[in-house]
A and B are shown apart, each in its own frame.
Chain A
Amino acid sequence: MEFIVNHLDLSLFAVLVTVGYAAGTFAERRHYASILSRERAQRQFQVMNAEAYFAEGRVKNSFMVSGSAVISIDYFKRLLAILRNIFGGRVKAYESLVDRARREAILRMKEEALTRGADMVVNLRLETAAIGNAANRRGRIGSVEVLAYGTAVTLNKT
């Protein structure tokens, strides 16, 4: 008990890392469950990053759709990344963050396209941005944003 009071900053750090691990793992597991079920539901909807060429008169309408997701790191992942900065190697802790952000952004884009009645999305592009990166240097927590955008197409039924 005395140790905790004497080393308040150390205790706070331990609490933050523990909370980060528990909450981060819980959130990640739930997010992946949601991603998987939604991906399964939208499986038949075509999305491609190719520049598509359609026969004349095939395309009825086209418009841009986009979806973006911001995922934050937690103290536990940050600790792993700080340690990785010393030893080098793959920052495995951040892989799942980027993966989740990418898939969530594509899912949201697909959802927009579906609600607007599109038949498929072509020319899919992905952009990544780090949010709060400058603040990260002063010991703040940063996040990653992924933006997915593409051209939604509605087709004339043949």
Chain B
Amino acid sequence: MKYIARELTENVNVSKSHPLAELAWLAGGLLAVVAILYLSLWWVADRIVPRVPVQVEVWAGQQLMARFPNRPDPQLTERVRNLVRLLPAASPLHRYDFTVSVMEQETVNALALPGGRIVIFSGLLKQIESENELTMILGHELGHYAHRDHLRGMGRGLGMTLALAMLFGQHSQVAGMASNLLIGMEMRYSQQQEKSADAYGLDLLVQTYGHAGGATDFFLRLADQDEGKLAYLLASHPHPQDRIAGLRKMIARQGYAVGPTVPLPETLVHQSRECP
């Protein structure tokens, strides 16, 4: 048998398609799957969240937050409890055991964590000058609880994390990275949610002091300051000017009076100035 050496010009073992084109197809498909998943979780969370009993939420909150030390501030906690006492007996907020703690951080923000734990950053506390403003902010956070906004975001974040962990494996980098990104994103509420929480806070403010004085003071001060330092708040909440306009409209519609504000008691002022 004669041996004839032939050169193979074509390689059948390697596909011809460009790797970047393949990446585009696969990543696009994955994005579509994730988007569909996200939208369906949104839909499901919006229907389930209003039905979650407060006891279940408080229990889940304790499980989730057990790792983080909770040192409630007695003065602020007492203030929130006084606010809750003003609410009608049917309000689900009576079933929470609210605590307020102060976290040493320059961010101008407050968080409503599951189970009734409100966290106020010291950066926000420093900006407050009157009792009325403080009541407005605490009332705003109570509004998030009343509308169960904190659960909606958490439900979606948790659902997505679970789904990604199933897709990529529990300990994979992809799932870890995605859940970090998503949980950060889901801590934010929609503009509409913030607006209804403002309305809730305003009603509580008027119930406490008999007038709406001080409702917009805090936001006026924010709007005056440069935006760089407050970028966090501005990114997660509507612009202060919009909130002021919204609050003024609500005050006018309800016919609330605007009276003089009460300065913060010495103990609280002292505490907020002490923070580094």
Contact = CB atoms under 8 A, between A and B. Distances in A.
Asked whether A and B interact, the reply is yes
Interface of A: 7, 9-10, 13, 21, 25, 39-40, 43-44, 46, 76-77, 79-80, 82-84, 86-87, 90, 92-93, 95-96, 98-99, 138-139
Given A7-B181, A13-B177, A87-B29, A95 B7 contact: no
B27 interface: yes
B196 interface: no
Given A84-B26, A86-B26, A87-B29, 14 more contacts: A7-B181, A9-B173, A9-B177, A13-B173, A25-B19, A43-B7, A80-B19, A80-B22, A83-B30, A86-B33, A92-B15, A92-B19, A139-B171, A139-B172
Given A9-B173, A10-B181, A83 B14 contact: no
Nearest to B231: A2
B238 interface: no
Closest 6 CB pairs of A and B: A83-B26, A92-B15, A43-B5, A99-B13, A96-B14, A95-B14
Given A9-B180, A138-B171, A93 B5 contact: no
Interface in B1-58: 3, 5, 7, 11, 13-15, 17, 19-20, 22-23, 26-27, 29-30, 33
Given A46-B3, A80-B23, A87-B29, A95 B13 contact: yes
Contacts of B177: 7, 9-10, 13
Contacts of A95: 13-15
B176 interface: yes
A99 B11 contact: yes
Interface of B: 3, 5, 7, 11, 13-15, 17, 19-20, 22-23, 26-27, 29-30, 33, 167-168, 171-174, 176-177, 180-181
29 contacts: A9-B173, A9-B176, A9-B177, A10-B177, A13-B173, A21-B19, A25-B19, A43-B5, A44-B5, A46-B5, A77-B19, A80-B22, A80-B23, A82-B168, A83-B23, A83-B26, A83-B29, A84-B26, A86-B30, A86-B33, A90-B15, A92-B14, A92-B17, A92-B19, A92-B22, A95-B14, A96-B14, A99-B13, A138-B171
A29 B143 CA distance: 61
Most chain-B Cβ atoms within 10 A of its Cβ — which of A39, A40, A83?
A83
A46 B33 CA distance: 52
A80 B167 CA distance: 15
Most chain-B Cβ atoms within 10 A of its Cβ — which of A7, A77, A92?
A92
Nearest to A39: B7
B100 to A, nearest CB: 27
Contact of B14 (A13, A87, A99): A99
Given A44-B5, A86-B167, A87-B29, A93 B14 contact: no
Contact of A79 (B17, B23, B33, B180): B23
A22 B242 CA distance: 47
Contacts of B23: 76, 79-80, 83
Nearest to A93: B19
Nearest to B5: A43
Nearest to A7: B181
Most chain-A Cβ atoms within 10 A of its Cβ — which of B11, B19, B23, B174?
B19
Nearest to B173: A139
A116 B17 CA distance: 40
A138 B170 CA distance: 11
A153 B7 CA distance: 23
A21 B5 CA distance: 35
Contacts of A99: 11, 13-14
B26 A80 contact: yes
A64 B37 CA distance: 57
